[in-house]
Amino acid sequence: MSQGKPRKPSGVTIDSIDAPNPVQTEANWVTVAKAFNPLGFVAEAYARTLAYRLETKRLDAEMQRVKAQAGVIHDALDKTYKLKMEELSQRRLEIDRFYDTVQGELKLLHIERMQVLKMAERASQMALSNNTSSEHKIIYKDMATELISQLSAFGGKANESLDVLVKSLPPISMPDRLLSYGD
């Protein structure tokens, strides 16, 4: 062996060794102290177990609060839904009644007009009939003329009656194109 530099074994390096960190040293002493004090580990384990149980209880209480809040919100939505559905049902019933009234009125007016037209037609037929005396022909002709002239006055009164009925209807919104005539 030569006496010069000390030889390092091949592949082995020695790094510098730093002074121990004071915090690390303190933590090591706490660990060492706990090792000699078995109650320290038991106390810490008990404390952690208690902390977990408390957190579990807190989470259970939070879940109950959220469920209760959801129940209140659900009840409020359900009641609002039922109230709105009842309101819509009543509104529909009201409109159906008005619709039935208008339809009935229109039907009666149509029947009355048709009856007047039938009477005027019958009077005209009797006025033109060969079996009718000339005296009666004049009466039937005057009757047909009077009935036909009254038909427009009768229509005017019917229109006034319908106008009053339509104005008494509850307002509803109608699409713009519903009432447009052949654009």
In a domain, residue 24? The reply is no
Let me know if residue 74 belongs to a domain.
Answer: yes
pLDDT value of residue 12:
46
Q: What is the pLDDT of residue 84?
A: 94
Residue 93 covered by a domain: yes
Per-residue pLDDT of the chain (183 residues; tens, 9 = 90+): 445 555 544 444 444 444 445 445 455 555 555 555 666 667 777 888 888 898 999 999 999 999 999 999 999 999 999 999 999 999 889 888 888 887 888 788 778 888 888 988 898 888 888 888 889 888 888 988 888 887 777 777 777 777 777 777 667 666 666 556 554
| Distances in whole angstroms, Cα of residue 86 to Cα of each of 77, 93, 155 | 14, 10, 40
Q: One-letter amino acid identity for 61? A: A
Cβ atoms of 109 and 158 within 8 Å: the answer is: yes
Whole-angstrom CA distances from 158 to 36, 78, 116, 155 are 111, 47, 13, 5
With respect to residue 20, please indicate whether it lies within any of the assigned structural domains: no
144 lies in some domain? yes
Does the residue 59 lie in any domain? yes
With 0.85 as the threshold, say if the pTM is over it. Answer: no
The contacts of residue 148 (CB under 8 Å, 6+ apart) are: 120
For the record, the structure tokens of 51 come out as: 């902390």
**Three-state secondary structure of the chain:** CCCCCCCCCCCCCCCCCCCCCHHHHHHHHHHHHHHHCHHHHHHHHHHHHHHHHHHHHHHHHHHHHHHHHHHHHHHHHHHHHHHHHHHHHHHHHHHHHHHHHHHHHHHHHHHHHHHHHHHHHHHHHHHHCCCCCHHHHHHHHHHHHHHHHHHHHHHHHHHHHHHHHHHCCCCCCCCHHHCCCCC
Residue 7, domain member (yes or no)? no
Query: How confident is the model at residue 148, as a pLDDT?
Result: 84
Q: End-to-end alpha-carbon separation of the chain, Å?
A: 118
Has residue 137 been placed in a domain? yes
Q: What is the CA radius of gyration of the chain?
A: 52
Domain encompassing residue 97: 29-170
**Residues constituting the chain:** 183
Question: Domain tally for the chain?
Answer: 1
Cβ-contact 116, 154 below 8 angstroms: yes
